[in-house]
A and B are shown apart, each in its own frame.
Chain A
Amino acid sequence: MTRLRADQRHPVRFTLNGKSVQGEAEPRMLLSDFLRHQLGATGTHVGCEHGVCGACTIVVDGMLTRSCLTLAAQVDGCELKTVEGLAPSADRLGVLQQAFRRRHALQCGFCTAGILISLDHYLAKNPSPTEAEIRDLLSGHICRCTGYTPIIQAALEAAAELAPSNKETSDA
């Protein structure tokens, strides 16, 4: 295991949404800060920095991860997916994103990135979730604007649209 010195910056390299990225971080730097301030990937938001609000949720090596409870140095060599990696192209929204827009499932949009990531990750493994399952999944996210129902509806709609019986494959 590499020993990191507290007072030094160390190189951190990983794959972010399919592209390799690198930067330097002190051992204490949070992954959320590294993404936002070192790499300029500001789509991931920080709401509480103690793992409760869920705004900073990303995927690290296939696992849902609170980037505010993860050190940048921990993800050296990993594969990361953030909200910036969800849309099929810069001018198009994915199925889940479109459902969010259609159902007014966001207002200020600050918590949205984490919620989209959790849903994207979950729907890929659970193509036909029930409302109860979606509510359970999203209980780890706090949204202060919407009252949640439109988010649940958008998730269920996207799931239906993305279901294997449907022709379109996942680009949520």
Chain B
Amino acid sequence: MLQAVKSANPGSGDVPWVGRSIERVEDAALLTGRGRFIDDLGVAPRTLHATILRSPHAHADILSIDAEAAKRLPGVAAVLTGSDVKAVTMSLVVGVKAPVECWPIAMDRVRYVGEPVAVIVATDRARAEDAAELINVEYRPRGAVVDPLGAIAPGAPVLHDGFPGNLASDRSFRYGDPEKAFADAKRRFSIDIRYPRNSCTPIETYGVVVSYDAGEDAYEVLANFQGPFSIHTVIARALKVPGNRLRLRTPPDSGGSFGVKQGVFPYIVLIAAAARITGRPVKWIEDRLEHLTASVSATNRATKLSAAVAADGKILALDWDQVEDCGAHLRAPEPATLYRMHGNLSGAYDIRHVRIRNRVVVTNKTPTGLNRGFGGPQVYFALERLVQRIAIGLNLDPLDVIKRNLIEANAFPYRTATGALLDSGNYQEAVARAVEQGRLAELKAKRDEARAEGRLYGIGFTAVVEPSVSNMGYITTVLTAAERRKAGPKNGAQATATVGLDPVGSVTVHVASVPQGQGHRTVLSQVVADVFGLQPNDIRVNTEIDTAKDAWSIASGNYASRFAAAVAGTAKIAAERVAGKLARIAASQLNVEAAEIVFAKGFVASKHNPENRIAFSRVAALSHWSPGSLPDDAGQTIRETVFWTPPELTPPDDEDRINSSLCHGFIFDFCGVEIDRTTLETRIDRYVTMHDCGTILHPGMVNGQIRGGFTQALGAALLEEYAYAEDGSFLTGTLADYLLPTTTEVPEPEIFHMETPSPFTPLGAKGVGEGNCMSTPVCLANAVADALGVADVTLPLVPARLVELVRGAEPPPPAGRATAAPARDADRRLRGEGQAVVKGAPEQVWAMLLDPATLQSVIPGCQRVDKVTDTHFRADVTLGIGPVTGRYRADVELFDLDPPRAVTLRGGATGALGFGNAEGRITLAPVGDGGTKLTYSYDAAIGGKVASIGGRLLDGATRVIIGQFFTALARKAGGGGAEAGGFSLFALLAKAASLFGGRR
């Protein structure tokens, strides 16, 4: 059923390469360990390595940074703090009009956990990390806000003075006559949605290598950046150089991105500053904790969506109220996530009246950026959940409500109320085919059967339009028409491709796209081979970008599913342009008309007499060896660079209508899920996904994109959330906390295709990579809601959340002697109690506890103890929890002393792994033959890195360490004698405080 794309040689009778699932040219190297990812490439001699010290606080003033000890460590070249970076750079531009700065490193205040505070540059990474541990940062915490609606509530802590009330943008839009539609409508339905934070988390993290040429004031950057290259302008401006002094290159291979590696750009600025200040090349590779905590995330969003609905389920109007949470800084290109879907807010439906209020807020969380689906998941979760609600409310079949509202097949190209021009499609046909091929009737029977047996089984549906090839001007919809007039028009999406012929006539292709595994080199070889009548193997494709040498523009890069639709099509145009000239040359040599020339089987030949031919390589090389013998009108055939931008991508009009994307694929999904009554685990029984992405260039890769997107969406629906505590502590800093789907959770979706070519793209192709990230989360949620018979479901659909829907909130545990009450989700407080018996009378133990002179030798990992007063101590200790060890500075005071019976300890600790405080009460009582029974209780709170990576471990680790402590104490006290005793309250508290961290 695949449609063949017309090749340039229709007369040859060859089967085109495009449309065939040929093996990928990329694979041999990747399968044998010869990939060339950024960390595989080696560096120039004298290259330094950077590590980044990050904030443990969600919101705090930086009172001081003491980096002297770090700077003295051998091998350390520099320690950069905010002021050092500020001296050589400018703030990153912010995408809305507001007096707000956006730095890649904290200046005098941190606004999210993980925000860079210092960059340490040393001869190797380990030494840089050693030095980072020696830096003392003194913070004064501020109130933090992590909820987008909480951020705009009166009295919320304000992150930026330039965003009063934390509101970065507030725009209202009106299309058609929504007020009248709502007034006239029979029914009105509303839904409130909280879409969570998540990220597509590539397995390769960020990497940056920068060198600086002081003589020319020029930077050379290698980074696994993915585009859009509009960001190049942001980086150059921040580095205070013109664009031609910022050479940005990408490595040959990139280990996945899914949008995420757009977010490496603040680090490019940071590492560039380090290279400039040290005068040496600097390399930085992000680690996984940094990536999860502070790279970038998709936006979380609070949405209220209302629909005016007729009795038959026809949706007459929509009213969107979206509150977009972009995290602590509004980083370029945000608030693009909110506006990417602006033209598509009516989805696949024919809805003529739309009202929108879009607010963008800042909160104490990691700044957001590109992520696969980019705005689509958030929009469709609200829209498609609402469609299910409408069906239930009107007692209609959800599929009937979808069908009643789909845009008619004869309406394309269809202009949506908000301005998108939907290029092509036949949604009714796609739905009908999916229902039949995906065997919906059988699935419904299965549901009935399961329910009859008392099982929890549900079916969900979704219809979505998948936009691709973004209009570079859509983001300006955030500005008013007047602001846009002042700023000048922004629109289009320049794609570029270069086709070159070398002196032996072999073909090279270069595109300004940056694949991260999508197989662009293979597809381009197919496209160009078809034009020239060659084999894909004859075409060498390079997809690295070097802004100093290559053709590129702001739209360059790999995002918005633009490759197949825009980039591959542009390569075809470039190849055809070369082929046209070669045809004229060949025509003059073969004595035929150029129109009669065909390219086939490695020859350029006469269509009518295939024996009248000349080898392709010979014609192709002629421009090098004998330009004088070319026909006058042929010009050179050595290299053609084509820029292509679709005319349909116009800027927003004065009524704020915006054609936000060029192409619009269609997806119709349905699925059956069963929820285990005992574990409340959601199992996907069948997932059917029908795609119309226009012409398919490589079926294997298209299905690969669909499966990959489906899997990431499954994670977003069932497993993944970047979780924050109320104080802004980040709680999911490892892949054991942020759970990604594995082989055991991911079923094979049933994939079906229909091909309605796009009339707007050279190959008829549309994007396909993001669609399931938009459709699948809500399709699964609809199925779960159907299974449980509930109105509201919140992602991710983890069993702990479903159990509350099914069984109500968990009752509090019975009072009793519970040790160490387990920390609840997003609650970092640890409480516990216990007792231990040691030898020695209470007076003796008491004396040991209060003798600081003995502490240093008996507290494991203690470097030094300072006695401030008789009841106030400071100490440096090193402690490990699980795989991570860190130094802490503990500060402990004693209260309510009742010698030798009881004492209360209160203190805090800070260190590389976090901060925290603890309070404990210890009582001593004589037992048996001269022993002492110690009874203790503690209450601690933690934050920072240890909360991110050790949340699961803390409770157990606490008990283990305290247990070990008393074991050691008992042993020491028993062995007593002249040697210093082994136990002290101080040691306990230092350990406890260090472990739990503590408030300051």
Contact = CB atoms under 8 A, between A and B. Distances in A.
Interface of A: 26, 28-29, 36, 40-50, 52-53, 55, 82-84, 86-87, 90, 93, 97, 100-102, 104, 106-113, 116, 134-136, 138-152
Contact of A43 (B35, B712, B736): B35
B711 A109 contact: no
Q: Which 8 pairs across A and B sit closest by C-beta, in order of nearness?
A: A43-B33, A108-B517, A110-B255, A109-B30, A147-B707, A107-B517, A42-B40, A52-B735
B735 A50 contact: yes
Contacts of B10: none
Contacts of B258: 144
B27 A48 contact: no
B32 A43 contact: yes
A53 B735 contact: yes
Interface in B180-218: 200-205
Given A87-B32, A149-B707, A101 B743 contact: no
B28 A104 contact: no
Nearest to A131: B743
A116 B26 CA distance: 16
Given A93-B28, A144-B256, A36 B701 contact: no
B704 A83 contact: no
- Judged by DSSP, the binding face of B is loop
Contacts of A145: 256, 517, 704, 708
A144 B200 contact: yes
Nearest to A85: B33
B711 A108 contact: no
Contacts of A139: 742-744
11 contacts: A42-B39, A46-B39, A50-B734, A50-B883, A55-B203, A93-B31, A106-B27, A106-B31, A110-B255, A142-B740, A144-B258
- Judged by DSSP, the binding face of A is loop
Given A52-B734, A109-B35, A142 B742 contact: yes
Given A144-B200, A144-B708, A48 B742 contact: no
A146 B708 contact: yes
Contacts of B986: none
Contacts of A97: 31-32
Interface string B382-393: 000000000000
A146 B256 CA distance: 11
Given A43-B33, A150-B704, 4 more contacts: A47-B204, A101-B27, A108-B204, A109-B29
Contacts of B26: 109
Interface string B241-278: 00000000000011110100000000000000000000
B37 A45 contact: yes
A107 B746 CA distance: 17
Contacts of A108: 30, 202-204, 253-256, 516-517
Contacts of B205: 47
A28 B203 contact: no
Contacts of A44: 33
Interface string B509-521: 0000000111100
B23 interface: yes
Contacts of A49: 287-288
Given A83-B33, A84-B33, A53 B203 contact: yes
Contact of A86 (B32, B287, B516, B740): B32
A151 to B, nearest CB: 8
Contacts of B126: 26, 28-29
Interface in B8-30: 21, 23-24, 26-30
B288 A83 contact: no
For chain B, give the interface size range.
35 or more
A142 B288 contact: no
Contacts of B288: 47-50, 53
Contacts of A100: 27, 31
A112 B37 CA distance: 13
A26 B126 CA distance: 10
Interface of B: 21, 23-24, 26-35, 37, 39-40, 42, 126, 200-205, 253-256, 258, 287-288, 516-519, 700-701, 703-704, 707-708, 710-712, 734-736, 740, 742-744, 746, 748-749, 883, 949
Nearest to B700: A104
Nearest to B884: A50
A107 B519 contact: yes
A42 B30 contact: no
Contact of B743 (A47, A82, A93, A135): A135
Contacts of B743: 134-136, 138-139, 141, 148, 151-152
A100 B518 CA distance: 15
A47 B206 CA distance: 11
A40 B254 CA distance: 18
Contacts of B33: 41-44, 82-84, 86, 113
A24 B700 CA distance: 45
Contacts of B701: 104
B287 A52 contact: no
A102 B23 contact: yes
Contacts of A106: 27, 30-31, 517
A101 to B, nearest CB: 4
Contact of B711 (A36, A136, A148): A148
A162 B39 CA distance: 34
A84 B324 CA distance: 46
B27 A144 contact: no
Contacts of B253: 108-109
B327 to A, nearest CB: 22
B744 A135 contact: yes
A111 B203 contact: yes
Contacts of A111: 203, 255
Contacts of A142: 203, 735, 740, 742
B401 to A, nearest CB: 30
Contacts of B518: 107
Contacts of A40: 42
A90 B29 CA distance: 10
A167 to B, nearest CB: 23
B30 to A, nearest CB: 3
A151 B746 CA distance: 12
Contacts of A83: 31-33
B287 A141 contact: no
B40 to A, nearest CB: 4
A125 B24 CA distance: 30
B392 to A, nearest CB: 31
A109 B517 contact: yes
A79 to B, nearest CB: 17
B219 to A, nearest CB: 25
A108 B253 CA distance: 8
A149 B748 contact: yes
B23 to A, nearest CB: 5
A41 B202 CA distance: 22
A45 B40 CA distance: 9
A48 B735 contact: yes
A109 B32 contact: no
Contacts of B204: 45, 47, 108, 110
Contacts of A87: 31-32
Nearest to B748: A149
Q: Among B23, B32, B39, which residue has the most Cβ atoms of chain A within 10 A?
A: B32
Nearest to A152: B743
A138 B708 contact: no
A48 B734 contact: yes
A120 to B, nearest CB: 11
A27 to B, nearest CB: 11
A134 B743 CA distance: 9
A109 B27 contact: yes
B987 to A, nearest CB: 24
Contacts of B254: 108
A154 to B, nearest CB: 10
Contacts of B42: 40
A138 B742 contact: yes
A134 B519 CA distance: 26
Nearest to B260: A144
A45 B707 CA distance: 23
